[in-house]
Structure formats: structure tokens, C-alpha cells
Amino acid sequence: MAEHDDIDAPMLNGAALNGAALNGAALDWVVRTGSDAFDDWPAFHAWLEADPRHAAAYHAMSADIEEMAAYVPAEVAAPVVVAMPARRRWPVWAGGAIAASLALFVGYEAIETRSHPYAVETAAGAMRTVQLADGSSIAMGGATRLMLDRDDPRIATLERGEAMFVVRHDDSDPFEVIVGDARLVDVGTAFDVKHARGETGPETRVAVSEGAVDYNPGQGGIRLVKGQGLFVRDGKATVSAVDVASVGSWRDSVLAYQGATLAEVADDLSRALGIDLRADPTVAKRSFSGSIATAKLAGDPSLAGPLLGVAIRKRGGHWVMSSRS
């Protein structure tokens, strides 16, 4: 490993890096901050803050070094535990041991860098089921993005779209879903969560088909049990009854609604069919209750018009839901 003075300035001054250069810079910072003689924390923090990729690469590299170092013979050197800036502690071997562990990184740029929080996405019109290491599963609807963590299979963040969670319950380690600014904690559960755009901002829907879910547990929290749903708009949560049989029915290409706005229906159809369908302001707030079999609409969403009481026409590169007149 080159000494600090021999490293190109862009590796240390916060400039954007790519590929092998980024991995090299991250590896250098891992080694340097792992030394009890290191005291240049301002420069390290400046490098981390210069680009979000820097922190991701640093944490992935430090985790890989921990794993690789486990293969170094213990008699090479005694470990010294060093406090790390992110409130982590890990062993750093001096001399030959650190060199041996770093040697395992020859050709590292050819290896996919692990990102311990990682994204799973689906395209519009597609579905996917993710099996987690703890035995839980997550079914993802179209145009959905989840953030998961290889180090903690008991937490997921739904950034957008819709997902059905079937959770293996563990009282000592409850499963947690982050959605927007809220937390959902399972109480032995199967539940559906949707996080989508609304007229005035993001909207969240939760529906429970088995067990229970705590919404923002603690003072002021709400417990939802089987057959209950929650709708959150502009920070206000409303609880209502839901048809258990319809929870997660989108997995079978059926969208079920109880008093949803046509704007929400248009958004769901867009994700389910892989199209761009918009509700005209004149009909966006209309209420709809019923079920839509999306498999019958492939290629022609206008077929849903009579059921919804609107006309659905193509305009340019998108579809518009509007009044029949």
C-alpha cells in the first residue's frame, strides 16, 4: 500500500472517483483510520461528505477487510481494538497481518463491491418476490423500490410503490418497515404497504391480513389488527376496515378498492400495467370502490373506462382518464 504522500490528490481531497480509483481511496482511508496514530479526522470527514458514494465504498471496504482479516493466522500479530468514527469497533492488525489481509484484495475492482444497505427495484408492469435470510418474504408490485440490509434482514425501507410483507415473527427482534417518516413494526404479521404520490404529497396505505402491525409504536402510535387498514395523507392517519381477502390481491393481477380516488387508481394502473396513466383534475378526486382485473387491460387501459365511469384516451406518449362528456 502506498504511503499517504504518494497517493494522488483526488483520492483524498473529496473529488468524485469511479471504479478502481474509488475503491483504492476507500481502502486507503480504511487502513489509515484503523491506525491508533491517525488524527486527520477533518480530512476524512470532508472526503466522506464530498460524495455519497464515498461513504458507501468506505463502509463496504471496511466490512470486507474485517471478513478477509478473519482468514489471517492469529499468531501473526495481536489485535488492537480501535474506535471508529461511526461508533463501530473493529480489530486492526499491524505489520504483516494487515498486509496479508490486504493482499486478498488484489484485483478487488473485478469483484462486485458489497453495499450492505442495497436497493431492490421492479420496473413498471413487473412483479418480484424477495426471500429474506430470516424466512420472511416481500412481494413487490410494479415500479417499486425497497432498501434492504444484508447485515440486518429484519428491516426494510419502502421508498416507493407497493409491497406485501409476510413476516416471520420474533418477539425479541421484530421486523420493521420504514415508509416515509413512519415506522411499521410487526406483531406476527402479513400486511400490505403502498407509498405513492398524492395530490398534496406522498400518501401511505397499510392493510393487515394477518396478525397486527404497530404504526409509529410508542406514545400516539396506532395498532392495526387483521382486517384493519390505515391511510396517511398530509401527516394525518385514518383507520378503517378492509376486506382481508383483498389485501395484496394485486399479486393475482386484481386491484381492489374501497373509496379510493381515481387519482390513486390511475397511479396503481400505471405501476401495474407499465404505462403512464394520469387522472384529469376534473375526475381525480372521484371515489371508486370495486375490483379491476389488470390482466385484461394489457395494452389497452381504456377497457377500464366503463367500470370507472370515465373515458380513458391516449394523448401523445401517455394516457388520460377524463370525463366521458
CB 117 within 8 A of CB 95: no
Residue 202 or 41, more confident: 202
Whats the size of the chain, residue-wise? 325
- C-alpha–C-alpha distance, residues 43 and 112, integer Å: 27
Q: Which of 257, 325, 260 is nearest to 287 (CA)?
A: 260
> What integer is the mean pLDDT of 44-73?
64
> What integer is the mean pLDDT of 74-84?
40
**CB contact burial 54-88 (16+ within 10 A = b; e otherwise):** bebbbbbbbbbbeeebeebeeebbeeeebeeeeee
Secondary structure class of 246 (helix, strand, coil): helix
E strands, the chain, where? 80-83, 89-92, 117-121, 128-131, 137-140, 145-149, 155-166, 176-179, 182-186, 190-196, 203-210, 212-215, 222-225, 228-233, 236-241, 254-261, 277-279, 287-293, 311-315, 318-322
Q: What is the pLDDT of residue 316?
A: 86
- Residue 292 confidence class, pLDDT cut points 50, 70, 90: very high
Q: What is the pLDDT of residue 65?
A: 59
Grid cell of 86 as nine digits:
461511526
- The DSSP code for 116 is S
State the chain's mean pLDDT as an integer: 80
Q: What is the pTM of this model?
A: 0.64
Q: What is the pLDDT of residue 63?
A: 60
List the beta bridge partners of residue 181: none
- C-alpha–C-alpha distance, residues 46 and 25, integer Å: 13
Residue 312 or 101, more confident: 312
pLDDT in tens, 139-187: 999 999 999 998 888 999 999 999 999 999 898 999 999 999 999 999 9
The three-point CA angle 303-284-228 to 5° equals 90
CB 284 within 8 A of CB 312: no
Q: Which of 190, 160, 161, 165 is nearest to 177 (CA)?
A: 165
Dihedral of CA atoms 248, 251, 255, 261 in degrees, nearest 10, equals 60
CA 228 to chain centre: 25
